[in-house]
A and B are shown apart, each in its own frame.
Chain A
Amino acid sequence: GDSVTQMEGPVTLSEEAFLTINCTYTATGYPSLFWYVQYPGEGLQLLLKATKADDKGSNKGFEATYRKETTSFHLEKGSVQVSDSAVYFCALKRSQGAQKLVFGQGTRLTINP
């Protein structure tokens, strides 16, 4: 079945460091890919998405590129801030068939000043 695998957390970085959170997926066909973020005490919200191969999603300085050849959607940010501390979830959604959003296990990110 469809699945998403994220890098193990927790991840702790210093402010202004470069961030990569790895995400790979297994799915039938050509799914859409998403990153959701859950800030402390808040609900889950969409960070960015990409709907086809080689698309790049971006928001708030975060980027992720849909790589079909490596079935990956790694999240990157050039210079993280303390306010980026949150749990990040990679997810996929099929274009046909079962229409549920399948999530990875989440990666907790802590940024120290």
Chain B
Amino acid sequence: GAGVSQSPSNKVTEKGKDVELRCDPISGHTALYWYRQRLGQGLEFLIYFQGNSAPDKSGLPSDRFSAERTGESVSTLTIQRTQQEDSAVYLCASSLEASGANVLTFGAGSRLTVL
């Protein structure tokens, strides 16, 4: 596609429920990133995928968070047993490659509200 597509754009859930967020990167982009942006704060790195290499999961805040990506296509970020502190905008980005100064193109984000 022309840009990075994320869905849903908004999700309201109850504490304790599981949620899945989806990211469709730009076609041909081998690197895919997930970030979290809490209200009024900066972007917090969660995880990135580069081709068939093992993902860098160093930013995942707890074992309730996981992400998958099949090949160089769609990725899903799953949050299990959601907590109120998980409320944030979850941003996905893709780039041609992870290395060097390749520019990340961001999606519009998925806003998650945990009641």
Contacts and interface: CB of A to CB of B under 8 A. Distances in A.
A102 B106 contact: no
A46 B106 CA distance: 9
A2 to B, nearest CB: 10
Contacts of A95: 99-101
Interface of B: 31, 33, 35, 41-43, 45, 48, 50, 56, 58-59, 91, 93, 98-101, 103-109
A100 B59 contact: yes
B62 to A, nearest CB: 18
Interface residues of A, number: 23
A93 B59 contact: no
Interface in A56-107: 89, 93, 95-96, 98-106
A93 B93 CA distance: 14
A99 B58 contact: no
B11 to A, nearest CB: 17
Nearest to B43: A103
Given A45-B106, A46-B103, A49-B103, A99 B41 contact: no
Contacts of A46: 103-105
